[in-house]
Amino acid sequence: MDDKRTADAPGLTGPELRSAVISQFLSSPGGDAILDPEVFRELYRISMEQKLLEKYTFPKKPSSDGYYHCAIKDPSRRNGYRHVKSRTPEGLRDKVLQFERGELGESRKTFRDAYTILQQKTGDLVKCSERRLSVTNSISRHWQTYDRFFTGTDFEKLYVDEITELDIEAVCRMNLERYDLRKRAWQSMRTVVKQVMDLAFHRRWIQENTYLRCDFAQFRDMVLPDVPIARRAYSPEEMEKIMAFIAEKQRKSPSYLPAYALEMQILLGLRRGEVPPLRWSDVHDFWIGIEREQITLKPKTGTGGRDTFHIVGHTKNGRNRQFPITREVRDLLDRLRAVHRLYYPGSEYLFPADSEEGVITNNTVYNFYRRMCRALEIPVCQDTVRGTHAFRRNAISRYVNLEGGSIEDAARLFGNSALVAEKHYFTGMDVEKFRKVLDGEAGRGQMDLELSDIIPFFLRLRELLEERKMLPG
């Protein structure tokens, strides 16, 4: 398979194909040239498209509005027809063919056609406008996976009804050879194929789902082992350097909000999109509400567009949560209030900015993080995939290893299921802590608290009670 061919390259037109065929035969001394499979496939595609277009009657001149019009049978419409129009006859034929390649059309579907239909269907079946943004974001990530493994390959040009288990196994092997894939990426690639073949079988475009016949076990030694979770978190030494760097940045540039935002992400173990939308109304006496997310929509590959950012009224998995205000968090909030009084008076957001949404973007915080890592010589390598998300692993593992901490409570606190928290975030038990327990050094029923830890809590509690006039004169 030729995996270097670009998917966006224009196909040969009818005259060009005829010239290609003629030149091949003329270049052969005996006139016995073997037709290039790519040329043959293009000839077949054009002949099939011409056959599909024969059932339509196209106007020879535009209507009074300057457009060429055509009616297409569409059972999904109330009157059974869909009307399309274009400024040119060629544009009108393209729109008709676009319909025919779709889910309701009669043309044979290539692998790419079927995947396009699958993603369009996913986007169409969403009613809530905010939810549509989240789904659009997911579709964008799905296309990134598709582009990585299938765009530009011969495999994506195969018709789904001619794809065999050997074709699927061949494209899997090709990707395993050109990429170092771990279990998650390997599963993502297979999911694309499975979803397409399931759709094709469900829509009766194929009689048998050949995906089910594939022997994926043969590739088990080509899939790299997962990186241990502990390597995808930050060491105590790294965390100490990171927190010191952030504190120094805040001291030198007190109005630079990304430094405070990154500290907030670290202390609360937040997802990167949960930081920018935080409002002061989310900050309560003893907890902070996590109820919104900033979604980043990526432009289509090759369009040259820019990322756009949108705040939606839900978190990634739709679970709102409350994070307790610890001493560290309260100290950060106090410093942030002082910054707001000087530089951002009246802002409803913790991290305001001159942007369309009125807040900083998660890209801004991430760029600060990358510059910090370069300055501290902390490696940011693709192989271990750490990034700012790794701070969630540190936060979850730290909580679980506390006295009385558990995976179940950590999952509720940080917004994951217990299974996901343990599988992808928990770096392992604190061996030294459990050694002390086994040696009987920890002591039973002892509170690991100092007076300096308790006094601020009761002082704050007294202030609240006095404000609400619940204390006697």
Report the CATH number that the domain containing residue 154 is assigned in CATH. Answer: 1.10.150
Between strands 321-324 and 287-290, the pairing is antiparallel
**Which pLDDT does position 2 carry in this prediction?**
41
Average pLDDT, the chain: 82
Tell me if 149 is assigned to some domain. yes
- How many domains does one find in the chain? 4
Tell me if 470 is assigned to some domain. no
Supply the angle between the helices 111-124 and 129-149 in degrees, to the nearest 10.
Answer: 160
Question: Domain holding 325: CATH number?
Answer: 1.10.443.10
If one compares 433 and 14, the residue with the highest pLDDT of the two is: 433
If one compares 113 and 129, the residue with the highest pLDDT of the two is: 113
If one compares 119 and 27, the residue with the highest pLDDT of the two is: 119
Rounded to a whole number of angstroms, the distance between the first and last alpha carbons of the chain is 85
Tell me if 243 is assigned to some domain. yes
| Residues 59 and 19 occupy one common structural domain | no
Going by pLDDT thresholds of 50, 70 and 90, the confidence category of residue 7 is very low
Quote the DSSP letter at residue 224.
B
Quote the DSSP letter at residue 293.
E
Q: What is the pLDDT of residues 292-346, one digit of tens each?
A: 999 988 877 666 678 889 999 888 888 889 999 999 999 999 999 999 999 999 9
Q: What's the burial of 244, exposed, middle or buried (CB within 10 Å: 0-12/13-18/19+)?
A: exposed
349 strand-pairing partners: 279
Residues 6+ positions from 2 with CB-CB distance below 8 Å: 153, 154
pLDDT at 381 > cutoff 70: no
If one compares 461 and 290, the residue with the highest pLDDT of the two is: 290
| Residues 423 and 301 occupy one common structural domain | yes
Question: What is the distance between the alpha carbons of residues 375 and 381, in angstroms, rounded to a whole number?
Answer: 15
| Residues 369 and 396 occupy one common structural domain | yes
Tell me if 456 is assigned to some domain. no
Q: What is the pTM of this model?
A: 0.68
Contact status, residue 422 vs residue 397, Cβ threshold 8 Å? no
Between strands 321-324 and 308-312, the pairing is unpaired
Count of CB atoms situated within 10 Å of the CB of 22: 10
**Which pLDDT does position 293 carry in this prediction?**
93
Contact status, residue 414 vs residue 424, Cβ threshold 8 Å? no
Q: What is the pLDDT of residues 130-171, one digit of tens each?
A: 788 888 888 989 999 999 999 999 999 999 999 999 999 999
Contact status, residue 224 vs residue 179, Cβ threshold 8 Å? no
Q: What is the pLDDT of residues 39-60, one digit of tens each?
A: 666 676 677 777 777 778 888 8
Tell me if 473 is assigned to some domain. no
Going by pLDDT thresholds of 50, 70 and 90, the confidence category of residue 395 is confident
Nearest to 144 by CA among 301, 306, 303: 301
Helix (H, G, I), strand (E, B) or coil at 324: strand
| Residues 151 and 77 occupy one common structural domain | no
| Residues 279 and 300 occupy one common structural domain | yes
Distance of CA 116 to the CA centre of its chain: 17
Contact status, residue 262 vs residue 365, Cβ threshold 8 Å? yes
- Average pLDDT on 213-232 reads 90
Nearest to 257 by CA among 178, 165, 145, 367: 367
| Residues 43 and 66 occupy one common structural domain | no
Tell me if 395 is assigned to some domain. yes
Per-position DSSP letters for 10-60, written without gaps between them: PPPPHHHHHHHHHHHHHTSTTS-PPPPHHHHHHHHHHHHHHHHHTTS---S
| Residues 213 and 200 occupy one common structural domain | yes
% of residues, the chain, pLDDT over 70:
76
Q: Residue 266's domain spans which residues?
A: 232-430
| Residues 331 and 388 occupy one common structural domain | yes
| Residues 99 and 14 occupy one common structural domain | no
**Which pLDDT does position 89 carry in this prediction?**
87
The dihedral over CA atoms of 23, 25, 28, 31, expressed in degrees to the nearest 10, equals: -160
**Which pLDDT does position 13 carry in this prediction?**
47
| Residues 149 and 184 occupy one common structural domain | yes
